Each structure stands twice: as structure tokens, then as C-alpha cells.
Amino acid sequence: MRHVGLKIRMAIVSTILFAFFSLAALVAVVSFGWPLWLVGILTIAFIGIQYILGTKLALRSVGAEDMSEEKYPQIHQTVESLSRDMGIKKPRLMVASMGTPNAFATGRKGKGTVVVSTELIQVLDRQELNGVIAHELAHIRNRDVVTMTVAQSVAAIVGIAAQWIVLLTGERSIANFVLAFVVGIVTQMLVMVFVMAISRYREYVADSDAADAIGSGEPLARALEKIQRSAEGTDVEMDDSVAALCIFGTGDGLKKLLSTHPSTEERIARLRDHR
């Protein structure tokens, strides 16, 4: 059974998120008199909009363009081969100048997109690049983008519900409006702690799947080392919608707690211990 640990963690966090969402739905039903079917439709619509806009904004923010098969034949051949081995449809390939070596995937299993930075192509050797591509394909196969969009949307909905609870139970004043805003932000951050914990674990799973796909964890480990060194030598900041999707990303303190990615050092160590 593949990724038992992930499935157990997903079950626990999904239960917690469902409890949060149920509370938010209750607020809508009790406070506004909305029927449950309307709450369900609005929720699905909200998630759908988040998914579509998130994908488009990520691609647009880095200026991604379709990757020419004539200019990058080896990458296309690699993606086609790995996609076939991993049991997914070959995703759309795009290239962008991000100012730093990186890559990210968007979309779902049957309609995915992988974006590779020109800097990554220049810095990595062929095996290392294969490891990064396999990692991104694993995200598509595991439906990570869809899963995280749903989870983040639930966090946003819960935050909005918390704001309305304060607004409806308090006085109509500027102070109460400010309090509602703060409560909504804090509540959303609380939920996001659980969401980001799952996101970090899914990075480990994608690393493991990539190592299985190319036969070793060493190439991806070397790629992460090079990407980290390059990131430390540049002050380029990515849009949040892109940074959450990229193969590399870390933080310290509270930022680390809410980071979508685990420690690069830990990822490298796990890849080199991969069997």
C-alpha cells in the first residue's frame, strides 16, 4: 500500500478541516437561513474559482510560455517517458525566466502543466533535471494541487465565517469591525497550520516518488543543493501563488510553521537514504 503515512495524516487533517467547515456552514445556515444545498453550491463555486484563478495567476506572474519541442527535445522526451511510467497523461510544458532555478506544477492528473525556469535548465545536469521533473509529475499524479486548493479554500471560508460571527454577535462599531477582521485572519492562520503541515509532508512523498521513477534519490538531492545555493545568492522574491507551488521554499520561525515546504536539508537527507 503506497504512502500509508500520507493517507493517515490526510484522514486526520481532513477530519479537522471538515469540523471547521461544518462550523462555517452552520453559521451560514443559522445566521442567514441558507439551505445546506446552497451552502454546498457556493462552496464548490468558491473552490472552483480559487483553482482556476490560482493556476492562471501562477503562470501569468512568471511570464510562462509554451516550451518549444524543437528547442528542448530532451525535456519533452523525458517528460513523455516519465509520464508514461508514472501512469499519467503528458502535461503541458512551459518555460519561464524566474530569476532563480526552480520549477512548479499546476493542474490536475488529466490536465496538468509543468513550468521549468530557464535558470534551472542552465544550472542542472540531465539527471538532476530529470529528478526535478519527476518530482513535479508526482505532484500532478498525487493530485496535490487540487488537494491543497480545496484545503486552502476551506481555511478561507472558515476565516470568513469567524468574521461574521464577531460581526453578528457584537455591536455595530468600527472597533468591532476591526476585531472581526483580526479574528478572521487569526482563525484562517490557525486552520492553515494544519493545511501547511500536510503540504510539507506531500513534498516528501513527491521526492520519494521521483526517486522511484528515476531509480535513485541522489540526482534530486544534488538538484536541491544547487537550487538552494542559487536561492541564497539571489534576492529574487516570487509571488505567493507561485512560491507555494515551486520545488524549493523554506522559512524561519512562524514563516516556517506556515511554509509549504519542509527543510531542504531534511529532504536531501531523506533522498540519500531512499531505498
pLDDT of residue 258: 60
Position 233 scores a pLDDT of 61
Asked if residues 103 and 123 have their Cβ atoms less than 8 Å apart, the reply is no
Contact 258, 193 (CB under 8 A): yes
Distance in angstroms (rounded) separating the CA atoms of residues 178 and 204? 39
Residue 93 phi, psi (nearest 5): -105, 135
Tell me: the pLDDT tens digits for 244-261?
666 666 554 445 556 777
Q: What is the pLDDT along the chain (275 residues), one digit of tens a residue?
A: 466 776 787 778 778 888 888 888 888 888 778 888 888 898 899 888 888 888 888 889 889 999 999 999 999 999 999 999 999 999 999 999 988 899 999 988 888 999 999 999 999 999 999 999 999 999 999 888 888 888 888 889 999 988 888 888 878 888 889 999 999 999 998 888 888 888 888 888 999 999 999 999 999 999 999 988 887 766 556 655 566 666 666 554 445 556 777 888 889 999 998 76
Give me the domain span that covers residue 256.
4-272
The H or E element that residue 93 is part of is strand 92-96
Residues 6+ apart with CB under 8 A from 116: 67, 75, 93, 94, 95, 96, 103, 129, 132, 133
User: How many independent structural domains does the chain possess?
Assistant: 1
Q: CA–CA separation, 275 vs 125, rounded Å?
A: 22
Main-chain dihedrals φ then ψ at residue 114, nearest 5 degrees: -115, 125
Cell of 127: 539527471
Residue written as grid cell 531542504: 264
Tally Cβ neighbours within 10 Å of residue 122. Answer: 8
Q: What is the pLDDT of residue 8?
A: 82
Q: Is 69 tagged catalytic?
A: no
For residue 52, what is its C-alpha cell?
482556476
* Identified catalytic residue from 136, 218, 265, 266: 136
> CA–CA separation, 261 vs 251, rounded Å?
9
CA–CA–CA angle 20, 22, 25 (5° rounding): 115
